[in-house]
């Protein structure tokens, strides 16, 4: 069974640019979660999608957005990139909301 | 503000010893408790979850939950150098599907 897949693995962007990260959950998992892990900070919750709808949002500005497609894959979009957005972005999925997560390998975003 | 606290460490133990990792939480309504292991440069991996007071064992790992004292622990028996990683505690309240993560404890198992 394939795990949670994320792309790309690494990304370097310039401040002010926009970026799109992609995630495919484990087959059968309908919930997809996005987290940011910046150096020295813990896992910060960004967004939760389930059955195509945004169910919850963390304490991040509106320039962080996303969507979930009918096949349950998901995109995270970050507009107007700032240097502080440099981090590991992790996608996770779960069979049921509230279950433990299976994480993808992450996308390392560097903003210069 | 729901808080989950972990000692950042590093916790250093010799090979073969028992490693004890602790996590305290502030929300008395917490219902689900998770331990994740994260190797350096890798993503977190779920290793244990516990919902009820008491102990839950899985191989060399034991999770201990004490809701009255609001702490959850992870014991690793017969620690191996391959157990060296950061261990993240995550706590989910009954009114939310999203857990709060602690910042993790770094464990070093030396030969």
Alpha carbon distance B81, B66 (integer Å):
29
Q: Considering only CB atoms, which chain A residues are within 8 Å of B43?
A: 88, 90, 103-106
What is the token pair recorded at A50? 């389930």
A48-85 residue pLDDT tens:
999 999 999 999 999 999 999 999 999 999 999 999 99
Tens digit of pLDDT at every position of chain B (111 positions): 789 999 999 999 999 999 999 999 999 999 999 999 999 999 999 999 999 889 999 999 999 999 999 999 999 999 999 999 999 999 999 888 999 999 999 999 999
Do B98 and A42 lie within an 8 Å CB cutoff? no
User: A100 touching B, CB under 8 A?
Assistant: yes
Q: How confident is the model at residue A90 (pLDDT cuts 50, 70, 90)?
A: very high
Do A100 and B42 lie within an 8 Å CB cutoff? no
In chain A, how long is the greatest CA-to-CA distance? 38
What is the token pair recorded at A16? 């002010």
User: In the prediction, which pLDDT does A107 show?
Assistant: 98
Q: Which of A78, A49, A48, A74 is nearest to A63 (CA)?
A: A78
User: B34 touching A, CB under 8 A?
Assistant: yes
Q: Which of B23, B30, B21 is nearest to B84 (CA)?
A: B21
User: A89 touching B, CB under 8 A?
Assistant: no
Q: Considering only CB atoms, which chain B residues are within 8 Å of A31?
A: 97
Q: Considering only CB atoms, which chain B residues are within 8 Å of A43?
A: 44, 88, 101
Q: How confident is the model at residue A39 (pLDDT cuts 50, 70, 90)?
A: confident
User: In the prediction, which pLDDT does B1 show?
Assistant: 72
User: In the prediction, which pLDDT does A20 show?
Assistant: 98
């Amino acid at each position: 069974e394939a795990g949670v897949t994320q792309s790309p693995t690494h990304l370097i962007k310039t401040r002010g640019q926009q970026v799109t990260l992609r995630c495919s959950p484990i087959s059968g998992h309908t919930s997809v979660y996005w987290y940011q892990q910046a150096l020295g900070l813990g896992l910060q919750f960004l967004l939760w999608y389930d059955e195509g709808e945004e169910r919850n949002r963390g304490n991040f500005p509106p320039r962080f957005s996303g969507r979930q497609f009918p096949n349950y894959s998901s995109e995270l979009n970050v507009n107007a990139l700032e240097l502080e957005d440099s981090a590991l972005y992790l996608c996770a999925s779960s069979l049921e909301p509230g279950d433990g997560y299976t994480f993808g390998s992450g996308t390392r975003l560097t903003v210069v | 503000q729901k808080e989950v606290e972990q000692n950042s460490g590093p916790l250093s133990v010799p090979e073969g010893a028992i490693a004890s990792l602790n996590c305290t939480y502030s929300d008395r309504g917490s219902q689900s408790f998770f331990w994740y292991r994260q190797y350096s440069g890798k993503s977190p991996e779920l290793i244990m979850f516990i919902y009820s007071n008491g102990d839950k064992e899985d191989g060399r790992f034991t999770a201990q939950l004490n809701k009255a004292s609001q702490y959850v622990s992870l014991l690793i028996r017969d620690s191996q150098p391959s157990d060296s990683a950061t261990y993240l505690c995550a706590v989910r309240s009954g009114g939310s599907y999203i857990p709060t993560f602690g910042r993790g404890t770094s464990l070093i198992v030396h030969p």
